[in-house]
Structure 1
């Protein structure tokens, strides 16, 4: 029986990550993302019906790596069409998905009828309720395949997906990073050695480091604004990055009250309910009339009058150029299938480095959207 890998989107682009895998006759969807600022929002799921499946009901499993919209944005569409498919994610990812998807649907359907929106949210709530929470380092069996979620770094709840069939092992990294911060599980593979590595390579075509939160720079900006007598608004448009922000603030010495607006309070409360250490003082409401009449800091997802705004979305914990090489050397697979990368010509890339260093002798395949690859063989071998 032949095994196939088919990127529906998110292969030679960064966004809309969605990858179909047929292994030992088990039909698996790895992530179901979307594009936020593009003419075509969703992956081409119809190609599955044209080439691989008779209906979406034949999907056996959907595996979610983490709760960023470019990995979950089309979840409502495909999961709602797939009947009794088993869906797996970590508990944190499951809890964050509803918040993230509500925000994503609102941003791409700004003129949607309120009644339709309400019905969709009810349906979304039901589908998310069907997600099976799979703890990290725990194995579940689907058909003849054993599936294990490994810590990925990157953001809270993020995981890599290990799939072991009768005769091969595979690892899908999703977005990952060897570096980590408070509250995020660092990468841990516990000796798992895949034959095939499907690797997200955000920084694969340029030298770039995984960017950490610039605590000192942010602290200096806040101090300057407060010294001038102004109020500060810290704007984050990402749910996960808002979590990073509250950890950053805890490390700083700030002499004014910090509060959140209703939307940000809802997000931080979700993290608190998941057991993360979030300062409850930030979400207080009973003293707001007093606080707003004095100098203060507000955490919000939208800009507001009366504040000096600082956008804090620069944070991006992805594997650096060097970390991509390290992942290959750590796994030493028979083949690396490269996805989640802007393919740029005439730019030094990590695949050239792999060849030049001479330490890795397996296949390196830059994948492309809507091209089917037989695992172990390649029509696009680099």
Structure 2
């Protein structure tokens, strides 16, 4: 069986194979990066780092200085001790699940993932093999988190824009600069209405365009010309003066956390749209049931015992992969 060590707050180490997964430590010869969000990028590195081509581009744009080896989906890399293959994770563009095969057994590490996948990604695909060890995030780990269909969410996003514009309000979406912002733009591109995105998100949009995901009629945010356009920014930007000169605006918060009505008063927004780039609770349980791994490790979750309870009921062995230590330490 593969030994697994949770490397503090950043990454997983497979010590028998000298392999790190989203890992920033010094004990891995080979490190595989699941996607371009900052909490998964190895900012300190001493080994060879591999990522999909879009993730490599995002890493460079976000300030990574070391060389990244590009590994396309479903192209297997062989090291001295293992065979490693990336599979599309459906989370953001370039996001990958890492499948590791070795003499100690195999392992599927999800990173962050979504199924059904975001339409602004390469999709979602699993290895066509039985899984020994499954490491899954469980960000939305309660049964209250059940997402609407893609069609319903697209209708909410476009409907919010149309209603705001029809009433001479400027529509503003609160969304992460990488992934969520571009998904919203992808959903709105057919409206052909000008979009302005926060500057930090704007520079990342080119990667989507380069990989075949058109994002519509967009430009970088300009305070002097933003009124009447569709605006997209992270929530923190509003506190720093984003569109503060626009008096008539409607604000929508887009996140899986929007499934909780309390967020409306916490954030002072006009609409909550539960558009998540993670899978919901029931999709997580269903996927574990489909895979039937020998062991499932649950990570990145405030409620591991709830997930474990549902998996126990289905006869699927599982345990929490603590942020501070791995099960084999």
Query: Is the CA contact 1:210–1:318 (under 8 Å) kept in the aligned structure 2?
Result: no
- Look at both structures and tell me which one has the larger radius of gyration over its CA atoms: 1
CA distance in 1, matches of 2:227, 2:287: 50
Residues 62/321 of structure 1: CA separation in 2 closer, same or farther (3 Å cut)? same
* Structure 1 residues 320-339: aligned runs within 5 Å: 320-339=280-299
* Structure 1 residues 1-382: aligned runs within 5 Å: 3-9=2-8, 16-23=9-16, 26-32=17-23, 56=26, 58-72=27-41, 75-76=42-43, 78-79=44-45, 82=46, 85-99=47-61, 101-102=62-63, 124=64, 126-127=65-66, 130-210=67-147, 214-251=153-190, 253=191, 256-260=193-197, 262-279=199-216, 281-283=217-219, 292=225, 295-301=228-234, 302=237, 303-307=242-246, 308=249, 310-314=251-255, 315-343=275-303, 349-358=306-315, 360=316, 363-374=317-328
**SS of residue matched to 2:92:** coil
CA distance in 2, matches of 1:300, 1:68: 16
CA distance in 2, matches of 1:334, 1:199: 13
Query: Is the CA contact 2:177–2:233 (under 8 Å) kept in the aligned structure 1?
Result: no
CA distance in 1, matches of 2:127, 2:290: 11
Shift of 1:151: 1.3
CA distance in 1, matches of 2:312, 2:174: 43
Query: Is the CA contact 1:210–1:317 (under 8 Å) kept in the aligned structure 2?
Result: no
Shift of 1:299: 4.0
Task: Give ranges in structure 2 of 5+ residues lacking alignment.
Answer: 256-274
Compute the TM-score of the two structures, normalised by the length of structure 2.
0.79
Aligned pairs, number: 300
Task: Give ranges in structure 1 of 5+ residues lacking alignment.
Answer: 10-15, 34-44, 46-55, 103-123
Shift of 1:154: 1.6
CA distance in 2, matches of 1:293, 1:67: 28
Shift of 1:293: 9.4
What's the Cα RMSD here?
A: 3.0
CA distance in 1, matches of 2:140, 2:175: 23
CA distance in 1, matches of 2:70, 2:78: 14
Q: Which runs of 4+ in 1 moved over 6 A?
A: none
- Give 1:115's aligned residue: none
Shift of 1:98: 3.2
Say which structure, 1 or 2, has more relative contact order (CA 8 Å, 6+ apart).
Answer: 1
Query: Is the CA contact 1:177–1:187 (under 8 Å) kept in the aligned structure 2?
Result: yes
Shift of 1:326: 2.4
Shift of 1:249: 0.9
**SS of residue matched to 1:266:** helix
- Give 2:259's aligned residue: none
Residues 22/342 of structure 1: CA separation in 2 closer, same or farther (3 Å cut)? same
CA distance in 1, matches of 2:243, 2:138: 36
**SS of residue matched to 1:239:** coil
Residues 221/30 of structure 1: CA separation in 2 closer, same or farther (3 Å cut)? same
Shift of 1:328: 2.0
CA distance in 1, matches of 2:2, 2:232: 48
Compute the TM-score of the two structures, normalised by the length of structure 1.
0.69
